[in-house]
Amino acid sequence: MPNPFPGMNPYLENPDFWSEVHLLLIAILQESLVPQLVPKYRVAIEKRVYEIKGEESLLVGIPDVSVQRNPAVRNPITSNVAVASPPIAPVPVTLPMSEEVRERYLEIVDMATKEVVTVIEILSPANKRPGKGREMYEEKRDNVFGSCTNLVEIDLLRCWKPLPVLGANFAASYRILVSRANRRPRADLYLFNLPNAIPDFPLPLRPEDTEPIVDLQALLNAVYDRAGYDFSIDYNTDIVPPLSESDAVWSDALLRERGLRE
């Protein structure tokens, strides 16, 4: 069964799926762009690696360990003498383990000059939640804004504060930013919510080039089909992260209408 949502499928934002979805979207986006851009441009998958530590880290599969306090016991030989109570139980804590973060993104590279013409970012949780990951991403973003490189920034995550722009007076769950180097500080921001289809957007290149149109909705739907998420997702379960009250009502009605929720 195809993606039951008209736009972004909020179940794909679950941490159990998102890292895979992110990787597959990068790969299918590259696959779709290569035939449109060769031989002038190369579409390269790039990677940045860094470590985060402490509360910024997403600790998965590390159980909390605690020691329960035992009740007072009697001496088995002289039961009239009480044994001293053991110390108060320790408090369960989580150690500030380091986590290696690997983020992939796309670069459109001019084959003749080897210059990076356009960067395409699909935001990950580390890019948005407060901490080192966001700080590093914002620094890279500022460097791109100060260069001759175009930027496409795709945000399909509802959680955390959106990356900063000026003049976005409308609240929206999702957004796509298209920033052309020759038009800065002006840029185009596509805002959309859960009931909306993901809008098509042009891929900025050199000013003299014809800009390909990216149908991100079709690409997301293809990822959903290829990965078999219709078999992996239980639509009777709650959505993680949770939806707003209005989106939850809308989503419940949609899934019941399509026979995916009892």
pLDDT, tens only, 2-28: 999 999 999 999 999 999 999 999 999
Confidence of residue 78 (pLDDT cuts 50, 70, 90): very low
User: Is residue 99 over pLDDT 80?
Assistant: no
Burial of residue 123 (CB within 10 Å: 0-12, 13-18, 19+) is buried
CA distance 215 to 198: 8
Confidence class of residue 222 from pLDDT cuts 50, 70 and 90? very high
Domain that holds residue 38: 10-55+98-257
- 72 in a domain, yes or no? no
Share of the chain above pLDDT 70, in %: 83
pLDDT of residue 83: 57
E strands in the chain:
41-53, 98-110, 116-122, 150-155, 174-179, 188-192, 201-202, 213-214
Q: What are the φ and ψ backbone dihedral angles of 124, each rounded to 5 degrees? A: -110, 170
The confidence band for 97, taking pLDDT boundaries of 50, 70 and 90, is low
Distance from C-alpha of 69 to C-alpha of 40, rounded to nearest angstrom: 70
Q: What is the pLDDT of residue 98?
A: 66
Residue 3 domain flag: no
pTM of the model: 0.83
The answer as to whether 92 is a domain residue is: no
Q: Which residue has the higher pLDDT, 50 or 214?
A: 214
Asked if the structure places residue 205 within a domain, the reply is: yes
Tell me, yes or no, whether 4 lies in a domain: no
How confident is the model at residue 86, as a pLDDT? Answer: 64
Question: How do strand 201-202 and strand 213-214 relate by DSSP bridges?
Answer: antiparallel
Mind listing the pLDDT tens digit for each residue in 56-76?
444 333 233 333 334 444 444
Classify the phi-psi angles of 117: left when phi > 0, otherwise alpha if psi is within -120 to 50, otherwise beta: alpha
Position 61 in a domain: no
Q: How many domains does the chain have?
A: 1
Nearest to 13 by CA among 215, 160, 191, 214: 160
Average pLDDT over residues 94-101: 67
Q: Is the separation of the CB atoms in 204 and 150 below 8 Å?
A: yes
Q: Tens of pLDDT along 186-217?
A: 999 999 999 999 999 999 999 999 999 999 99
Whether 238 maps to a domain, the answer reads yes
Residue count of the chain: 262
Q: Is residue 235 part of a domain?
A: yes
Contacts (Cβ under 8 Å, ≥6 apart) of 259: none
More confident residue, 77 or 170: 170
- Distance from C-alpha of 231 to C-alpha of 241, rounded to nearest angstrom: 20
- Average pLDDT, stretch 115-141? 94
